Homo-oligomer: A and B are copies of this chain.
Amino acid sequence: MYICIVMSNSKLYKGSLNTIILKLLNENDKMYGYEITQKVKELTKGELKITEGALYPALHKLEAEGLLDVEVAKVDNRLRKYYKLTENGTKETANKLEELAEYIKTMQALVNPKLA
């Protein structure tokens, strides 16, 4: 038995899930849900864990908005739903990334005004 302290899932991640999903799909062409959770865990060295309750509704919403296309596959007798960016999805990815950069700049102006 061991104790694990993780600072993960700070409140700040709220609102950035869509950006994360879109960016990953922009890099990896197509991915399925579980793969996304693992990739995020890997890239953030375990610091950020995307929960299923957040991820799947987000994917469905992005699909409903026409930003993602879905394609179902069966691998090892298990279902996988591969998502990929639509044309609009690619455009929106650029917007989201710009928004994120802007957000980071703004926050730095707030918490570290000397560097602004």
Q: Which residues of A contact B (CB under 8 A)?
A: 7, 10-16, 18-20, 23-24, 27, 40, 43-44, 47-48, 97, 99-100, 102-104, 106-111, 113, 116
Contact = CB atoms under 8 A, between A and B. Distances in A.
Given A43-B113, A47-B102, A107 B7 contact: no
B12 A103 contact: yes
A16 B102 contact: no
Nearest to A40: B110
Contacts of A24: 110
Contacts of A16: 12, 107
B104 A107 contact: yes
B15 A106 contact: no
